Structure 1
Amino acid sequence: MSIRRDYIDTAIGQIHYRSSGDSRLGVPLILLHQVPSSSAMYDALLTELAEDYWMIAPDMPGFGGSDPLPGSITIEAIAKVFHEALSNLGVSQCYLFGHHTGASVAVQLEYDFPGVCKKMALSGPTLLNDSLRELLPTISCAFPVQEDGSHLIQMWQRIRGKDNDAPLSISQRETLLGIELGERYPDAYMAVIAQDYATQLAAIQCPTLIFAGTQDPLYGQLDDALALLSQGTRKEIKDGRTYGCERDADKMAVLLKDFFQ
């Protein structure tokens, strides 16, 4: 089944999204991407699960093909736009899946609009410890445009360093998306730091699956995140890394299908 691409109007402009599956399959599965990526990172999962779910993968405001927020980036503002976009698509309740930054937005969405999420799955929940809070501003700084193009090499090295065994096509796509953000590159990372994720996670009442690849930089946060959840389940993917939604799409599809069904 093919992946479709479209736009939905919101108060801040157009939100671009990918979709697959049949809307008659029932409660839709919403997939929220990490940064600096876009919904393109979900092409594999949109294909793997197309026979089982109607899926919608939106681009965050200012990422991929979506219009940017008019003001500063906050996780709350992103969640508000997504709630409006889903409402405009006729979605009142859904399954939510978020990876890294997408896991931040997923929790914020259910926290601000309780009941919109029937079940939630979080890959690499962003329950940051002190060391991660200190590290994140350093590893997410912007690279100003240089006459000699050295900023292009710097971005490539940053993205490649996240997983130097990843297919070059993934690294190239992510590098180009990061370059396109320019000076806005750090903004979403700073929004994740500012989010009171622990308080929000503890307030979530729907069944929630948390997992990560054992080589994912957020793998170490799983146990602390699980302890905050009232209906939490913990899983892991052996040797999975940052781009697990693509590199381990078959394993992730099994986890999600088992949990949501």
Structure 2
Amino acid sequence: MSEAEIKRMITRHVLTVRSASGAPPRKVHYRRCGSGPVLLMVHQSPRSSAEYEALMHQWGAHFTCIAPDTPGFGQSDALPGKPEIADFADGLCEFLDALGVARCAAYGFHSGGIILVTAIKRQPQRFSCLAVGGYAIWTEEEMRIFGERYLPEWHPSAYGEHLTWLWHRMLEQSWVFPWFDTREEARLSVAHADIARVAQAVSEMLDAGNAYQAGYGAVLRAPRDIPAPESTVPPCLISAFDGDPLQAHIDRLGAMPQGWRAEKVRTPADHHATSLAFLQAHGGDGPCPDLAEDLDEGWLALDGGLIHWKGTRGGSLLLHSPAGEMVEQAPGELAIDVPGHGQSSDFEDIEGAVEAAAAALGASAIAWPEAPAGDPDRLYPDMTPDRFGNYLQRAWAVARAECFFAPWYAAGAANAIPLDPARLDPQALHRRARARIRAGDAARRWHDTLVARRRFDRRSI
């Protein structure tokens, strides 16, 4: 892969952050793309840094874009206790310290902007400038309504009812705002039924679970103020496009510090173009330094995508269990998310990608598992997201059935297996269903790969 191709590629990394407060170390997952000065990109809640992938490809021509998953979202560990917005802002600065970035430009959308404005008030020396997409200034009544209804408890239920709520919650948030307000006055002009967008948002909520309340709640409880007009802070642009429910809040901002401005724009593309121009004008802080990352977990960049790995380079390489989850490795061992599963990209040639990953990691051997018993045409029902979210219920139904029968689809006394209450725990069901959803049709292709390998091995004997 050429240097130019690597610069255009989004890579993924894990970094352990240690707090000066004495809190336990926590893992932060971040995406990187591009070259030039560092641009920190903070996503909205309850999303992850994945929402910035398209933007990172564009802005990476001008900046080294660094987009972390905020604590408790995506693949980042949550903050301890009941954190407030200052904890998220300080945690962001701790991440910059661990990364090796002393000062940078930053961009945040909605709640990502609130975290960044809080950070710029607490540690203004860390930033050269800030661009924000929509900044909320809630009234007391709006704060009361949001506090009561916006963040319900969200836990896996034994029979998957929570998935029905989740699909409609994420689908209808573009129809009305807030998502639970079904009055005509709450309708949005940007309503959509984009299956891919909804499925991505659902996937991110499946990752966060009820931890979404901590991060989202801290944002909603955050003081609704920007720095005082007399403050000495880096320049900032706040903009919002037509259809953004926070566009009306531009009129609520009031007096701002010198170098700060706010404007309404017509489209999301206009918002991005205006933000980029502002960041380019104020955000040149020199070349990107060498960025830190952990050495016992990461993503290999191979031709065709990324392979997620954990463990000790040079050890025996363990591959997925039949449930499609990364297996636990002992000291001296390696494990990967095989292509198309977990946090690894999909590859047309699954076996070739596994062998390339093993070679790149210096694996001493590959422990190929057996393919699950059963008819592959029935073992792997269609997990393609659909307009009504039915794929979520299919995954949950399989996760339950495989606790009763082997293969799971053969519901009869002859195929009954001993019941294990631990496997029927809703959290265990959640993990297996989520793994199946992530794998999609790659699960069947992985099965076929294992069957083909076994046939080849037998012919070779």
TM-score range, shorter chain: 0.7 to 0.9
Counterpart residue number, 1:88: 98
Distance apart, 1:199 and its partner CA: 5.3
- Where do 1:109-188 residues align within 5 Å? 109-137=119-147, 138-163=149-174, 164-165=191-192, 167-188=194-215
Counterpart check, 1:16 vs 2:29:
yes
Structure 1 CA distance for aligned equivalents of residues 43 and 57 of structure 2 = 16
Structure 1 CA distance for aligned equivalents of residues 219 and 252 of structure 2 = 17
Distance apart, 1:134 and its partner CA: 2.2
Please list every run of 5 or more consecutive structure 1 residues that lacks an aligned counterpart in the other structure. 241-247
Taking only the aligned residue pairs, the percentage that are identical comes to 26
Distance apart, 1:176 and its partner CA: 2.3
| Bigger CA radius of gyration | 2
Structure 1 CA distance for aligned equivalents of residues 216 and 77 of structure 2 = 18
Counterpart residue number, 1:220: 248
Superposed CA RMSD in Å reads 2.0
Please list every run of 5 or more consecutive structure 2 residues that lacks an aligned counterpart in the other structure. 1-7, 19-24, 175-190, 282-461
Rate the CA distance shift 1:166–1:116 in 2: closer, same or farther, 3 A. Answer: farther
Structure 2 CA distance for aligned equivalents of residues 100 and 199 of structure 1 = 14
Structure 2 CA distance for aligned equivalents of residues 107 and 259 of structure 1 = 16
Select the residue among 220, 234, 239 that pairs with 1:206.
234
Counterpart residue number, 1:7: 14
Letter in 2 for 1:159: M
1:165 is paired with a residue whose SS is coil
Counterpart residue number, 2:216: 189
Structure 1 CA distance for aligned equivalents of residues 209 and 239 of structure 2 = 31
**TM-score, length basis structure 1:** 0.87
Structure 2 CA distance for aligned equivalents of residues 207 and 188 of structure 1 = 26
**TM-score, length basis structure 2:** 0.51
Rate the CA distance shift 1:89–1:29 in 2: closer, same or farther, 3 A. Answer: same
Comparing 144-153 and 107-116, the one that deviates more = 144-153
Structure 2 CA distance for aligned equivalents of residues 145 and 8 of structure 1 = 29
Distance apart, 1:194 and its partner CA: 2.6
Select the residue among 65, 83, 107 that pairs with 1:55.
65
Distance apart, 1:44 and its partner CA: 0.9
Rate the CA distance shift 1:201–1:175 in 2: closer, same or farther, 3 A. Answer: farther
Comparing 33-42 and 141-150, the one that deviates more = 141-150
Letter in 1 for 2:30: Y
Structure 2 CA distance for aligned equivalents of residues 237 and 166 of structure 1 = 24
Question: Which gives a bigger RCO, structure 1 or 2 (Cα 8 Å, sep 6+)?
Answer: 1
Comparing 83-92 and 99-108, the one that deviates more = 83-92
Letter in 1 for 2:215: A
Any conservation in 1 of the 2:107–2:131 contact (CA below 8 Å)?
Answer: yes
Letter in 2 for 1:236: K
Any conservation in 1 of the 2:227–2:257 contact (CA below 8 Å)?
Answer: no
Any conservation in 1 of the 2:124–2:234 contact (CA below 8 Å)?
Answer: no
Distance apart, 1:226 and its partner CA: 5.1
Structure 1 CA distance for aligned equivalents of residues 232 and 143 of structure 2 = 23
Structure 2 CA distance for aligned equivalents of residues 199 and 50 of structure 1 = 29
1:227 is paired with a residue whose SS is coil
Rate the CA distance shift 1:68–1:189 in 2: closer, same or farther, 3 A. Answer: closer
Counterpart residue number, 1:79: 89
2:125 is paired with a residue whose SS is coil
Distance apart, 1:230 and its partner CA: 3.2
Letter in 2 for 1:258: A
Any conservation in 2 of the 1:98–1:106 contact (CA below 8 Å)?
Answer: yes
2:258 is paired with a residue whose SS is coil
Structure 2 CA distance for aligned equivalents of residues 230 and 129 of structure 1 = 25
Structure 1 CA distance for aligned equivalents of residues 98 and 228 of structure 2 = 26
In proportion to residue count, which structure has more helix? 1
Structure 2 CA distance for aligned equivalents of residues 47 and 4 of structure 1 = 11
Select the residue among 246, 262, 265 that pairs with 1:234.
262
